[in-house]
Every structure is written in structure tokens, then in C-alpha cells.
């Protein structure tokens, strides 16, 4: 079976739902994205912590369709951004 890599962007205003990394088997794409997960103040001023944050994530999976869970992201006040998902075949 082939291996695929999917990158996608999530957006939200609340604390980043760390457990979603485990649940969707994903990880932050770059060092800046790690900061978006762990340091919301990097993306928001102290006066406006409710501003939207965007974090790019990556998951590696077998089969063409990733096992992402948009409804679960929404339950945490985050969403997978439409048009920001890309899947490439790795092997």
C-alpha cells in the first residue's frame, strides 16, 4: 500500500486542542507552527487573545484519504480551513 503525506491548516480562537495531534495522528509542519500550538501570544497581542490563529499540520497515512476529523476540530472551536489541504504520494 502506498504512503501519503497530507498537509492541512486549522484555524481557531481558543486554546489549541493538543489532543487533536494524537487523535488525527498529525504534527506541526514547521517550527513556526509549533509556536502556534504552544505559544498563542506569538500570534495574538495581549489585548486581543481571541484573534484567529492558523496552524499548518501534517499527517502521514496509508491510502489516499487522510483520517482527519473536522467535526471533532469544530467541537474544540477550531476548524480545518477549506482549500488549505494537500495530499501527496510519498512512496
Compute the average pLDDT of residues 20-26: 97
Number of domains in the chain: 1
Closest CA to 57 of 49, 68, 65, 41: 68
Give the three-state DSSP class for 80. Answer: strand
Range of the domain at 53: 3-89
Q: What is the pTM of this model?
A: 0.86
**pLDDT grade for 12, boundaries at 50, 70 and 90:** very high
Closest CA to 57 of 82, 86, 29: 29
**pLDDT grade for 87, boundaries at 50, 70 and 90:** very high
Condensed to tens digits (0 to 9), the pLDDT of residues 33-79 reads 998 888 655 555 555 555 678 999 999 999 999 999 999 999 999 99
- pLDDT at residue number 13: 86
Rounded Cα gap, residues 15 and 57, in angstroms: 16
**pLDDT grade for 22, boundaries at 50, 70 and 90:** very high
Q: Is the pLDDT of residue 6 over 80?
A: yes
Amino acid at each position: 500500500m502506498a504512503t501519503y503525506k497530507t498537509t492541512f491548516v486549522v484555524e481557531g480562537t481558543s486554546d489549541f486542542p493538543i489532543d487533536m495531534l494524537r487523535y488525527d495522528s498529525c504534527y506541526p509542519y514547521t517550527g513556526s507552527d509549533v509556536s502556534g500550538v504552544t505559544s498563542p501570544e506569538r500570534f495574538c497581542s495581549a489585548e486581543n487573545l481571541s484573534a484567529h490563529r492558523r496552524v499548518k499540520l501534517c499527517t502521514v497515512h496509508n491510502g489516499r484519504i487522510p483520517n482527519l476529523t473536522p467535526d471533532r476540530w469544530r467541537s474544540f472551536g477550531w476548524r480545518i480551513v477549506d482549500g488549505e489541504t494537500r495530499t501527496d504520494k510519498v512512496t
